């Protein structure tokens, strides 16, 4: 239990109130190792503006990323195993808004060390990126535009891309799946939503109202506000979620409603979708007692993105995850 607690505390601290990590190796922008990427327009969606090395081990390497989305330079992170070809990939969606729970880099370590090329966005307007965050508006494109970025990497299997998000990032994952269906796409082959808010119109309304109104992420209270809230609430459009979805939720979560997560799972089942809900008795929003949900998330990706002979399980790679955590530049 202490080992799990230490792991999750470290994961949470990575996204809360610290300055960005120093690079382990100071370097100029690292060229993207892909002829396909180099041949694309330099400001096309998903094109890489720059990569800056943060950490390299004998197993993996991690970069600070700047990429293009809707004509904006957006900040993020990219990590990848150093060995292997035709690898699966995951887009990781961060929690919070603005600088609250902004990415520090280590959040993607469990995915990378388990064998997934992983990209994560700070969302537009954050961490020095251009544009303005919209809390699930046009900034959903910032996570969807990581799909062409990942596909441009020669080591990525373009048919094995998943998505995972925690808290607000879980909601962004649901919104990304919605947009995929609207656009007639099926790029995301499996998804995981951890502690996501499935309905912004009910439950914990005072906190959500303060967030979206006072910060202006959605807009002012007017005739369009309720529509914007419903647009961000997956319980109103379960028919638009088509990728296999794993929903993880703590039963003592004080930030997002477990009842609404259960409602969403029931609606998806009724619509004939592939969905699984795992709730954790006594656990909180961060799933502190259950390794932040990574064991179940990686098992889900193993099921839908894995191939024979691959082992993406959490326990198989726990030691490597801890090692990278201990050497991550602070």
Secondary structure, 3-state, 136-161: CCCCHHHHHCHHHHHHCCCCEEEEEE
Q: Residue 214's pLDDT is what? A: 40
CA angle 189, 191, 193 (to 5 degrees): 170
Q: Residue 195's pLDDT is what? A: 93
Residue 227 has pLDDT above 50, yes or no: yes
Q: How would you list the strands of the sheet with 60-69, edge to edge? A: 48-56, 60-69, 72-81, 117-121, 87-93, 156-166, 190-194, 245-250, 275-280
Q: What is the pLDDT of residues 38-75, one digit of tens each?
A: 456 778 999 999 999 999 999 999 999 999 999 999 99
pTM of the model: 0.87
Q: What is the pLDDT confidence band of residue 12, given thresholds at 50, 70 and 90?
A: very low
Give me the residues paired with residue 81 across strands.
Answer: 60
Residue 210 has pLDDT above 60, yes or no: no
All structural domains of the chain: 2-327 (3.40.50.1820)
Over range 200-219, report the average pLDDT: 53
Residue 251 has pLDDT above 80, yes or no: yes
Q: Residue 272's pLDDT is what? A: 97
Residue 151 near residue 158, CB atoms below 8 Å? yes
* Range name among 8-12, 49-53, 171-175 with the lowest pLDDT average: 8-12
CA angle 32, 305, 237 (to 5 degrees): 100
- Determine the Cα–Cα distance for residues 15 and 22; give it in Å rounded to an integer: 15
Q: What is the pLDDT confidence band of residue 229, given thresholds at 50, 70 and 90?
A: confident
More confident: 26 or 172: 172
Over range 75-92, report the average pLDDT: 96
Residues in the chain: 330
Q: Residue 17's pLDDT is what? A: 34
Q: What is the pLDDT of residues 253-308, one digit of tens each?
A: 988 889 999 999 999 999 999 999 999 999 999 999 999 999 999 999 999 999 99
Residue 13 has pLDDT above 50, yes or no: no
């Amino acid at each position: 239990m202490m080992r799990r607690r230490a792991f999750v505390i470290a994961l949470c601290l990575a996204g809360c109130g610290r300055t960005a990590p120093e690079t382990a190796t100071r370097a100029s922008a690292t060229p993207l190792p892909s002829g396909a990427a180099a041949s694309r327009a330099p400001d096309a969606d998903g094109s890489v503006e720059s990569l800056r090395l943060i950490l390299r081990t004998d197993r993996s390497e991690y970069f600070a990323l700047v990429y293009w989305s809707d004509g904006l330079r957006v900040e993020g992170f990219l990590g990848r195993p150093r060995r292997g070809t035709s690898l699966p990939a995951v887009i990781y969606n961060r929690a919070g808004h603005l600088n609250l729970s902004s990415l520090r880099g280590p959040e993607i370590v469990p995915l990378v060390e388990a064998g997934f090329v992983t990209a994560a966005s700070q969302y537009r307007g954050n961490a020095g990126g251009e544009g303005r965050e919209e809390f699930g508006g046009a900034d959903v494109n910032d996570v969807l535009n990581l799909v062409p970025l990942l596909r441009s990497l020669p080591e990525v299997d373009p048919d094995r891309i998943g998505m995972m998000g925690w808290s607000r990032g879980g909601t962004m994952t649901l919104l990304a799946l919605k947009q995929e269906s609207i656009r007639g796409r099926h790029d995301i082959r499996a998804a995981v939503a951890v502690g996501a808010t499935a309905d912004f119109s009910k439950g914990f309304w005072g906190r959500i109202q303060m967030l979206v109104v006072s910060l202006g992420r959605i807009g002012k209270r007017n005739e369009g506000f309720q529509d914007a809230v419903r647009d961000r609430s997956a319980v109103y459009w379960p028919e638009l979620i088509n990728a296999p979805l794993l929903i993880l939720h703590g039963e003592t979560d004080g930030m997002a409603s477990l009842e609404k997560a259960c409602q969403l799972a029931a609606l998806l089942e009724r619509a004939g979708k592939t969905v699984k809900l795992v709730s954790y008795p006594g656990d909180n929003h961060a799933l502190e007692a259950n390794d932040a949900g990574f064991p179940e998330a990686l098992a889900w990706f193993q099921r839908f993105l894995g191939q024979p002979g691959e082992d993406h399980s959490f326990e198989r790679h726990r030691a490597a995850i801890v090692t990278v955590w201990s050497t991550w530049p602070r």
